[in-house]
Amino acid sequence: MKKVTITGVRQATIVEVPTPHAVGDWALVKVHAIPMCTEYKAFAGGWQSQHLGHEAAGEVVEVAQPGRVKVGDRVVAMPFYPCGKCPRCVAGDFIYCQHGYNYEAYAGTPEGQATYNEYLLKPGWILPRIPDGVSYELGSLAVCGLGPTFGAMDRMGVDAFDTLMITGMGPVGLGGVVNARFRGTRVIAVESIPYRVQKALDLGAEVVIDPRDPQALEQVMELTGGVGVDASLDCSGTVAAERFCIDATRRRGQVAFVGECHDDLAIKISPDMIRKGLTLHGSWHYNLSLFPKIMQVIQESPVVEQLISHTFPFSQVQQALELCATNQTAKVILKPKV
């Protein structure tokens, strides 16, 4: 099978490797749609990478034993190789599993563990089915496109009575606008890149605030009767935005952190937490039980198709990664067979 590797700075190469086979309760999936996520960082940095990508939708083409999926099923591949047995996995919060498989030891090959591939291997229980009539491209938004923000909104319980601020209108933040508008929630977005500002407005954000504006916090207060938003959601992964979420959220409000960040955020316990009564959530991906609801967003949202801004065949992966690195995109989908 063909797969994409990073072989140098801004250098993506398609190589031929052995196709893996179904083993135990792991099924072989022929990949049809690969939403591109953070791989452009490895591409731009020249980090040599043999296994790229963690998002995909495709068709089950081989099983080793009867199980949760069968040949012909159209499925979404969830990230990682969780154990399926620990309390977190059994509860559907497999993303927090601490006992994940050693891929190569179980599969007998290092190939098929990533998604920039023609085929991948996955435990059947984390291959939920795509409903009839939903394309692979739209179905694949049930990974990072719509998933992390859906999980965070479920945790916070935001609804049509709430104003939600979302910082960072990359593909994940834009998916957050789609999810929030589907719930009837009013959205204040925060973003500075013009392409993404316009996309946020197109998807239903009421207003987009420029985080570089010294009056940004005052603008949020003006839009919320002087009290701040009911909830906020950071999708930018920057300390400045995380701080802005805490400052712009009302007393007894909630903040969810979705954007990955490895820098230190300073929190003052008395003014930020105790006297404000704030609740902070760390939220990664979503509980598997929410999958049908995410599929309902995909089937019924009038704007969800606009979340996909570009589609490229495998042969143009170099151009696709170059484009992702410009930040002038919403979700970009790579297709192995075009």
Give the binding site for Zn ion (CB under 5 A): 37, 55, 82-83, 86, 89, 97, 99, 144
Which residue has tokens 């509860």? Answer: 91
Q: Residue 34 or 278: which CB sits closer to Zn ion? A: 34
Query: Minimal distance in Å, beta carbon 260 to Zn ion?
Result: 10
SS3 22: coil
Query: Minimal distance in Å, beta carbon 319 to Zn ion?
Result: 20
Q: Residue 175 or 336: which CB sits closer to Zn ion? A: 175
Q: Residue 80 or 207: which CB sits closer to Zn ion? A: 80
Query: Minimal distance in Å, beta carbon 273 to Zn ion?
Result: 30
CA 208 – CA 211 distance, rounded (Å): 9
Q: Residue 35 or 336: which CB sits closer to Zn ion? A: 35
Instruction: Give one DSSP letter per residue of 76-99, joined into a string.
Output: EEPSS---S-SHHHHTT-GGG-SS
Q: Residue 77 or 248: which CB sits closer to Zn ion? A: 77
Query: Minimal distance in Å, beta carbon 99 to Zn ion?
Result: 5
CA 296 – CA 153 distance, rounded (Å): 15
Pairing of strands 26-35, 56-62: antiparallel
Query: Minimal distance in Å, beta carbon 239 to Zn ion?
Result: 21
Query: Minimal distance in Å, beta carbon 61 to Zn ion?
Result: 23
Specify whether the CB–CB gap between 61 and 28 falls below 8 A: yes
Q: Residue 208 or 320: which CB sits closer to Zn ion? A: 320
Residue 132, C-beta contacts closer than 8 angstroms, at least 6 positions apart = none
Q: Residue 87 or 214: which CB sits closer to Zn ion? A: 87
What Å distances lie between residue 179 and 111, 118, 183, 214, 247, CA to CA?
34, 30, 7, 29, 23
Tally the C-alpha atoms within 13 A of residue 244's C-alpha that lie toward its C-beta. 30
Residue 191: both structure tokens together: 């973003």
CA 7 – CA 319 distance, rounded (Å): 15
Query: Minimal distance in Å, beta carbon 67 to Zn ion?
Result: 17
Q: Residue 141 or 248: which CB sits closer to Zn ion? A: 141
Question: What length is written for the chain?
Answer: 338
CA 177 – CA 183 distance, rounded (Å): 10
Query: Minimal distance in Å, beta carbon 224 to Zn ion?
Result: 31
Q: Residue 138 or 208: which CB sits closer to Zn ion? A: 138
Instruction: Give one DSSP letter per residue of 219-236, joined into a string.
Output: HHHHHTTTS-EEEEEE-S
Query: Minimal distance in Å, beta carbon 186 to Zn ion?
Result: 27
Angle value at C-alpha 70, between 64 and 71, nearest 5 degrees: 85
SS3 199: helix
Residue 21: both structure tokens together: 């086979």
